[in-house]
Structure 1
Amino acid sequence: MKYSFLKISIPLLLLIIFMFAVTSEFIQPAPEKKLTIATGSENGNYYKTALEYKKLLESNKIEVTLLNTAGSVENIKLLKEKKADIAFVQNGILDSSETDIEFLANIYYEPLWIFYKNDKYKIDYLIQLISKKISIGEEGSGTKNLSTKLLNDNGITNENSEILTLNTNKSKQMLLDGEIDAMFMVTSHDSPTVKELLENPDINVLSIKRAKAYGQKYNFLEALTLHEGTLDLYKNIPDENINLLSTSANLLSNPNVPEELIRIFLKQVKLVHSKESLFAQENQFPNLLNTTLKINKEAKQYFTHGDTWLESIFPYWIASNIDRLKLLLIPLLTLMFPLFKGVFPLYQWSMRSKIFRWYKTINSIDKQINTAKLDELKKFMEELDKLNIEIQEETKVPLSFMGEYYNLMVHLELIQNKIKNRLNLTQINY
């Protein structure tokens, strides 16, 4: 029975596979599993975060290339030139006029840190930096973009101050050596540079008194408070509450990135950033807040509705391929329905053929009984006895077909009795 079932089911399965293979030719092929991500410098938090993404994505069989850059401005350029698929960009640099870049997510807060030399006086307002020597971040960085906005708001320009565009490491060293008066940097609170400068008694950090005012002027900025002792209770770092201005790190993409890659990328982003952190509650990030950019369709779908039903059952790429072929289900089912209707009659025929094949021998003997001689009758009897044993050993059928089986055995016995009667008559005549 098992063998016959396989004879039926295997061709049917092969037919289904063939139909999927043919119809899948009319569906857009699966995307190439490659992503290029523009990060920032190797010492920056963007690059560190991108390494986490890379590890998770490569475990999902996606090849990831990381591009080291000067920062947000250069990353935007790479997106527009289609040299990067996804990029880290500081919030607030782009506005709604950008149509060839799409927004994927806010991923974490990026506070603005303003460190200055401890010359025994305290700075509470940005305007007090006028006439000073200030580093505002290197060309192409988000730090320079934000710093320039804030300094312009306070009337600080190259005409009344010396403004330098240096990278973080160079700025830090010059500040420690007393070669500049202040430095701006936009980075996460867990940056080693931030902790080093906060621990240094010769360096102060500006606690911005009007942080909320800046937050009201720029919707991409938010006022945060770093409380006394938060970073190190033992050393009491910082040694007082600090008012910070914070933007957020954004992930942007060019519109040509396939939806499947965007979705699996965002799944890894959620794994990395949904945990509680110093300034954020659990599941606060990633989100789609505080942006004027066009939101990627797949990002909006994912962050609004989460995983699909298929993704909750199958690994992502299996669920994705099933989803791509879903348009074929209706014509496929329409085509398969008559095929499945024919399976049961085919199965019935297969089971009955196991029984009916014996009738050929029985019928042949039955036709010869009336004209057979004594020796032939004995030979027929022996043949039917052997046939009886063969039928019992070889004919295995389900209970639902036992009626046909017992009919066969009755007919066999009927022919045997017919031969016995002929034998008796023949022997009497002899």
Structure 2
Amino acid sequence: MHTPHSPRPADPLDLLELDSMLTPDERAVRDAVRTFCDRRVEPHIAEWFEQGEIEDIRGLTKELGELGLLGMHLEGYGCAGMSAVDYGLACLELEATDSGLRSLVSVQGSLAMYAIHAFGSEEQKTEWLPRLAAGTAIGCFGLTEPDSGSDPGSMRTTARRDGGGTSRSSGAESGGDWILDGRKMWITNGSVADVAVVWALTEDGVRGFVVPTDTPGFSAPAIKHKMSLRASVTSELVLDSIRLPGSAVLPEVRGLRGPLSCLNEARYGIAWGAMGAARSSFRAALAYAGDRIQFGRPISSFQLTQAKLTDMALELAKGTLLAFHLGRTKDDRGLHPEQVSYGKLNNTRAALDICRTARTVLGANGISLEYPVIRHANNLESILTYEGTVEMHTLMIGQALTGQAAFR
């Protein structure tokens, strides 16, 4: 005979009880990241956003490394070796604080570290991965160019062999040095990085290179005047005939499969992270609606406000469920690129809509940095575009649906 449970009081931030889907270990990861963000970053993030810089970014990166968040889903070399769901939960909590914080972790772990871990030589892995995992070194990922965003195959950065150099490599890739020339644009962490993974066109197709940023001819001027991702370092990479040894090339990959597989890792994290920004904005709107008195009543008592809150709650829950599903699937059997596109496309669009709706609930206060909403909304304008635009992810899903490529 079924015995009915006593009804629990509803949690307005989790009406579907999604928290029950987590294992105790996953909750511990989530709580540890949330506690760190609340203690270390939340008190300062609005000021950092307004100033356009993170105070003591190296110190913060080292703390993130000590917490095990850098390359946390990778195995060995000082990496934590945690699950895809663990990594997703961390991205959600990081971006609930600020997209710039999640970008710092995502670019370090899912782009720079993943590229070296998946495609690098043993020498490259042992030299860089432990330092990057510990946060004592910072990495960046150079793919996008001023005239080559959604079409990386048209990149103009080149790498050519020069047999007259003094290569320090003795491996299979040691037939002389490499000379790199070109520009990369919109590169997170660029101006503070110790190492850059740079993709360049060679006579053998697109290849990746591990570039120490103290290499002569390398510079990374910061990009200023941003109105989005202001609490994030964004730079141009300038490669003026920089000379690298033969051992600098990533030996295990050729072609665009290399950078695109890295982007899929990062896009997966964005599907979770966007829901963090959305949750923060929804929470702010819900609390504000209960406190704000108009016409003698809290605005949460009005039908139109309740409709907005309901719509936000629905989209937040659906997006979080999608992220959970992708995480479980990734841990179980891996993800297809179009599945990652589902998450990135849906959740960034939904998160931006939630933030815009939350802004209307806050009225004029919605544009103040005293509340997180406008900061999240501004950040998500970038998240909507980077790691694949709305148009590109739409066409990736369209190709999977129809079997027809419509990119050109």
- Fold match by TM threshold 0.5: no
TM-score in terms of structure 1 length: 0.24
Structure with the greater alpha carbon radius of gyration: 1
TM-score in terms of structure 2 length: 0.25
